[in-house]
Amino acid sequence: MTDWPSIGVVIPTHDRPQQVRAALRSVLTQFYPGAVEVVVVFDRAKPEEALASDGKRPVTVVKNDRTPGLAGARNTGITALDTDLVAFLDDDDEWLPGKLTAQVTALGTEAELCTTAIEVDYRGRRNPRLAQRTSVRHVDLLRSRMMMLHSSTFLFRRSALLGGLGLVAEDAPGSQNEDWDMLLRASRRRPIAHVDVPYALVNWAGSHFETRWDTKISSLRWILDRHPEIHGSPEGAARVYGQIACWHAAIGDRKEALRWALRATRANPGEPRAAVAAAAAAGIVGVPAVMAALHRRGRGI
């Protein structure tokens, strides 16, 4: 490739001064022949101007001027850029060497979004998560969230974000599941290009969202309302119903936990989350303990 497209990187941040520096460093040290610039968006926090810099790869520091939360912060960054492509990186994650070059090559001329596999870091234990494919279709994302398609790997054509695909959904409760919504919207338009190599290190310890059970419930119900076709995929529907059941069990709502667990089992009798929710509702296990055990293997509920 002779003409490498310019890339703008959006890093939203909130109260993570050390992690955001590591995230930023992982961008600035990428080998990529084209132009790269970074926008660090401070959400509900005072911007740290010391992060700004000029030079070959300029870094701009701005304050989220849209809806408070991750989605608004990302959209603030998108609209502040004027690059060919836009990439996302969470402030507690890092890119691994070679990411941008591999993704731009895979994006080609047809795809609007490209993702990569990830390596999950949970309290020092690392596990790669691969998709076992190079293209992701809408039906794939109805069947499974495919968590390895993490937002810290997203690389978009900026023209799509400002055009038919649209910006990040700012009405997502707590800015959760807005990434799955974006994947579903993008894959409905065109297949998503995927590089099945772990090019992002994703930190699962200390997430701002890990134990916000009520928000997890409302964001999943938001997804079901926004993408009703999920109900038509037995595996995908059962997974979401089972997750909702688990989050209800985590807040002690036994009745709703069992109701959603039964719904998950009816959709797919083999759905394991239904059993987890039932056991949690009965007090046999705790949802946080199950999550921690799964996270150590690079998995989640």
Residues 165-201: tens digit of each pLDDT: 999 999 999 999 999 999 999 999 999 999 999 999 9
- Assign 204 a pLDDT band (cuts: 50, 70, 90): confident
For 23-51, what is each residue's pLDDT tens digit? 999 999 999 999 999 999 999 889 999 99
At residue 207 the predicted structure's pLDDT band, cuts being 50, 70 and 90, is low
Its domain, for residue 189, covers 7-203
**Residue 21 and residue 84 in one domain:** yes
pLDDT higher than threshold 80 for residue 161 = yes
Q: How far is CA 67 from CA 62, 75, 106, 139, 289, in A?
A: 14, 9, 33, 31, 33
pLDDT score at 206: 65
pLDDT at 52 over 80: yes
Domain boundary among 203, 228, 253: 203
Q: Is the pLDDT of residue 6 over 90?
A: yes
What three-state secondary structure class fits 154?
A: coil
- Are 122 and 44 in the same domain? yes
Same domain for 175 and 259, yes or no, is no
Q: Percentage of the chain surpassing pLDDT 90?
A: 89
In terms of domains, do 36 and 142 share one? yes
Residues 115 and 228 in one domain: no
CA distance 243 to 256: 12
pLDDT at 89 over 60: yes
Residue 194 shares a structural domain with residue 230: no
- Residues in the chain, overall count: 301
pTM, rounded to two decimals: 0.95
| 132 lies in some domain | yes
Q: In this structure, are 166 and 233 located in the same domain?
A: no
Q: Give the pLDDT mean for 11-24.
A: 94
> Cα 285 vs. chain centroid, distance in angstroms?
28
Condensed to tens digits (0 to 9), the pLDDT of residues 212-249 reads 899 999 999 999 999 999 999 999 999 999 999 999 99
117 pLDDT higher than 60: yes
β-strands 135-136, 113-122 pairing: unpaired
Residue 300 lies in a domain: no
- pLDDT bin (cut points 50, 70, 90) of residue 1 is low
Mean pLDDT of 252-279: 97
Pick 91 or 109 by higher pLDDT: 91
% of the chain exceeding 70 in pLDDT: 98
The residue out of 203, 222, 252 marking a domain boundary is 203
pLDDT score for 170: 97
- Asked if residue 272 belongs to a domain, the reply is yes
Q: pLDDT for 120-148, tens place per residue?
A: 999 889 999 999 999 999 999 999 999 99
- Count other C-beta atoms under 10 Å from residue 136's C-beta: 22
Q: What is the count of structural domains for the chain?
A: 2
Q: What's the pLDDT score for residue 209?
A: 63
Single-letter amino acid code for the residue at 288? P
What pLDDT does 146 receive? 96
For residue 208, tell me if it sits in a domain: no
pLDDT at 107 over 70: yes
Torsion, CA 71, CA 221, CA 206, CA 11, rounded to 10: -10
In whole angstroms, give the CA distance from residue 159 to residue 101.
20
Residue 103 is assigned to a structural domain of this protein: yes
pLDDT of amino acid 203: 93
69 with 87, same domain: the answer is yes
Write down the mean pLDDT value for the chain: 95
Give yes or no: residues 161 and 237 share one domain: no
Specify whether 172 is located in the same domain as 291: no
In terms of Cα–Cα distance, which of 200, 204, 196, 199 is closest to 125? 204
| Residues 43, 182 within the same domain | yes
Pair 226, 197 in one domain: no
Q: What distance in Å separates the CA atoms of residue 242 and residue 145, rounded to the nearest whole number? A: 13
